[in-house]
Structure 1
């Protein structure tokens, strides 16, 4: 039987600790129900199983929640803790089907600063027949701008968050699967979006043997630059009351963008297939007389919108540091409430850059030389730990790994061109003569917000496409996405491997995916200016 990926030292130790029961736990010798309870108390030098029980009720209610994860098959729920360092305390769970296991393993990713088990994602994989695992990434979640306090107080836990927790959990989960079923998983996959997408790319770069295939959605992989870009967006809109863009102003801006650019892609449907082709300038909405946010924008509001579109640039050279949000994404912008600004980047700067609980984001300015110097010094210190931007995926490719990445063009939290930038860096690394698409493909989703939702067709099964690629060698040339209104599907469109875009063939229903072909676009005009 093929073992999917090399195990960590922790996992190897656990295999040895569990091995005496592995043969006995094989379904032919002992029921899996009995084998589940027998896992309790098993330990290795850095890992301990704290609970193992059969869940036959069809649901699990996560700690601290009143919403149950339901429609679950009967499974063995294993809870444990990993302690690879003296400061580490990585909680994890492994869920293993009692019946109809598909023979495969799926690790699932997290969101934001994590700090919790991804229960819903575990349920999704269990329903697919997978044995599946999740980790809290090595710390307990904290609210709002204190979400990154753990990394200030326990620096080793920053490494756990960045990459160690997912790697250790993957190896330990495989060891438990081996002990429980009496055989290793035939294939291993990682599925995640946002911080989960970041974790997926980190796995491909640092631990290429952990997974056979990875789905990395809207990855926060350029972490230090993303935090800077997001903080700049917060400051652009919320620091000065004159720059605020309330919902009526964002609605006005969005309607103007769509009216100006919707037909550029050949179909008038309220969605921009490639927002880089749209160069709409908010100055066209500038007020000529009395300001009214549902009819015009003030000069300060115009500049704030321009700054969000433009993204963060080096104040000394004008070099792009992180891309801005795309035109068409305006209804989803998080820069709405001055009393409750987007907390993820503020937490980063409060605890990791300035290490000051009293730090006030309103006092910061990238254009101030001292502030920018503090940013640069922190980036030099943190990027080697936190950023998953290494373009050399040679080891992952060499072992036959496959990577599918996707990003919504209307993403309001992680600029979509970040994915394009990383994909481009990989292609540059391998050179034009190398076929990067043989193991790595990027799909941009028009009208899709952060990890889901939006005005376009945003429902698709990237994991099924990955399975076909890994297990049958069928690379995805297009993936059909759907949009549903009140539960009724009213639009289907193909997502195309970048840089291709879906082009209307000129005949047929524009809501039918069959009416579109994937083609290379005409040269795009970047939307990063003015």
Structure 2
């Protein structure tokens, strides 16, 4: 346990937290007692079990650090805090995903797709925020509106890291004030951009968290956004329409080809490729290119070239890598992969993929300096990516100006991401558990793997003493895909933090409703092994995790 257990007293002594009256009631009569120069409370209400929640709790809505931005817009860090009646003296800061911009219910989702198993229902107090901006504040900007806050330097900074550092002491003080008791353990939980928030917090706020659960993190988000342009240009070149560049049947054929080449590498042909690294040297995409003798859903030469370029990652005209390469994995045939890369069922987006709409707006307005205002139509957003120049435009994620004194890479990535040590986090006793789907279509698992390798090397090959990393074969961007996606990394993290129980293999099953997994694998369990170990079949019941061992 870190010494921050006396957080309320220390914050008050330092003058960095408001002096609330202790033991407040969960009624609107308490609002006046909570107001301060940096904090306003709009609502306090009791929420009973059975109203979509398993526990009775108090819900507080508020906002912090209200201001007018350099762009003339109003900003504040809006938040929701939920406080269970039966509190376990623990707190979760819920980091949200995407461009943030809305206050997602502060429940602390612990398993993708399982709304019942949350930190709140386990007795944790939980806070959630919009990261300092309202995503619906610019309706006139159309589909580009959610990223239009990128024209305010402080809103960029809040989104990148400072909303967490501003809100966290206020939220923990509110928790300790409400219960008139201290927080024993503090956790941060997030996936995607939320995973990035967690990694940034480990570097910028190493004393604030006992444990961080980092899911499929976009810690290199500006570089990953450059990949959006690379992908759209590659797909567009095939037949002039990104949405039809590959049929579902063709991507399934790619997934099947990967399985045929790699499925047995872990000792069992079961539709699940545990040995990701060996697969990269075994599978050859050119084996699926059409020739006169081939039938079925083979690929054209242009399609093979596009997939090869995408998996190699973006480069400039000198061949300098601009992001990361990507692994071949069976999740390429999943609906999630298609949703991000090729096509969505969303008519207002003209069925364009997520990277071609929301990703385009973010690259132009959040990660380019100075920001470029793009029209909020699907056609304009796609055209911006088609016109993107990897020599002249890509370097703008590193650029600064007199107004924008921090580049996108400065405010979005952990300060030590290029050469990570997490020395302060480790010295404070913090523990971090990272997991990432091998088939993630938006943030390359290879990028996370390379980051972890650097972290391990910089800690004399002992990073596993405080940070453990798990790859989930077949999983795209979060739960789903042809994989085992029902797992509980949070309990493993808590046991590590509070009991010193070092996490090893985590048993995973198939989440109810995951049709891709049921069709590919059936109802099975598998072991997810800490990197660089691989779950290998040792004999016995093929559906049981006990039949697998974690080996290098």
TM-score bracket, shorter-length normalisation? 0.7 to 0.9
Shift of 1:474: 0.5
CA distance in 2, matches of 1:480, 1:398: 30
Shift of 1:385: 1.0
| Structure 1: segments with no counterpart, 5+ residues | 26-31, 60-69, 521-530
Shift of 1:397: 0.8
1:357 equivalenced with 2:384 (yes/no): no
Shift of 1:205: 0.5
| Partner SS, residue 524 of structure 2 | strand
- Map 1:397-416 onto structure 2 (within 5 A): 397-416=426-445
CA distance in 1, matches of 2:178, 2:224: 41
CA distance in 2, matches of 1:221, 1:479: 24
CA distance in 2, matches of 1:50, 1:96: 16
CA 39–228 in structure 1, closer or farther in 2 if over 3 Å, else same? same
- Deviation per CA, 1:336-369, whole angstroms, max 9, x where unpaired? 23851323431122213251324632542445x3
Counterpart contact for 1:14–1:175, Cα < 8 Å: no
CA 236–324 in structure 1, closer or farther in 2 if over 3 Å, else same? farther
Shift of 1:315: 3.2
| Partner SS, residue 119 of structure 2 | helix
1:454 equivalenced with 2:468 (yes/no): no
Partner of 1:512: 544
Counterpart contact for 1:213–1:402, Cα < 8 Å: yes
| Partner SS, residue 51 of structure 1 | strand
Shift of 1:239: 5.1
Partner of 2:347: none
CA distance in 1, matches of 2:33, 2:524: 52
Shift of 1:165: 1.3
- Deviation per CA, 1:277-313, whole angstroms, max 9, x where unpaired? 2242222222235998x52211111111111221223
1:185 equivalenced with 2:183 (yes/no): yes
Shift of 1:330: 1.3
2:198 to 179, 197, 200: 200
| Structure 2: segments with no counterpart, 5+ residues | 70-74, 110-117, 137-141, 344-349
Shift of 1:476: 0.2
Q: Select between 333-342 and 212-221 the one with higher mean Cα deviation.
A: 333-342
Shift of 1:240: 4.7
Partner of 2:160: 162
CA 504–364 in structure 1, closer or farther in 2 if over 3 Å, else same? same
1:45 equivalenced with 2:67 (yes/no): no
Shift of 1:319: 3.8
CA distance in 2, matches of 1:457, 1:134: 28
CA distance in 2, matches of 1:249, 1:120: 40
Q: Select between 437-446 and 249-258 the one with higher mean Cα deviation.
A: 249-258
- Tell me the TM-score normalized by structure 1: 0.85
Partner of 2:83: 96
- Map 1:35-114 onto structure 2 (within 5 A): 37-40=29-32, 42-56=34-48, 58-59=50-51, 70-83=52-65, 86-87=68-69, 88-98=75-85, 100-114=86-100
| Partner SS, residue 443 of structure 1 | strand
- Map 1:190-339 onto structure 2 (within 5 A): 190-238=188-236, 240-241=238-239, 244-278=245-279, 279=281, 280-288=283-291, 295-319=297-321, 321-332=323-334, 333=337, 334-337=340-343
CA 185–95 in structure 1, closer or farther in 2 if over 3 Å, else same? same
CA distance in 2, matches of 1:12, 1:451: 40
CA 371–289 in structure 1, closer or farther in 2 if over 3 Å, else same? farther
Partner of 1:135: 129
- Deviation per CA, 1:107-165, whole angstroms, max 9, x where unpaired? 1111111111221744722101101100011111247443211112x221111111111
CA 6–361 in structure 1, closer or farther in 2 if over 3 Å, else same? farther
Counterpart contact for 1:4–1:184, Cα < 8 Å: yes
CA distance in 2, matches of 1:444, 1:470: 21
| Partner SS, residue 370 of structure 1 | coil
- Deviation per CA, 1:409-463, whole angstroms, max 9, x where unpaired? 121221111211111121232234xx21111110111222212112121111111
Partner of 1:465: 492
Q: Select between 493-502 and 372-381 the one with higher mean Cα deviation.
A: 372-381
CA 347–318 in structure 1, closer or farther in 2 if over 3 Å, else same? same
Partner of 1:370: 392
Shift of 1:322: 1.7
CA 102–365 in structure 1, closer or farther in 2 if over 3 Å, else same? same
The Cα RMSD (Å) is: 2.9
CA 376–183 in structure 1, closer or farther in 2 if over 3 Å, else same? closer
Shift of 1:376: 5.4
Partner of 2:19: 17
Partner of 2:449: 420
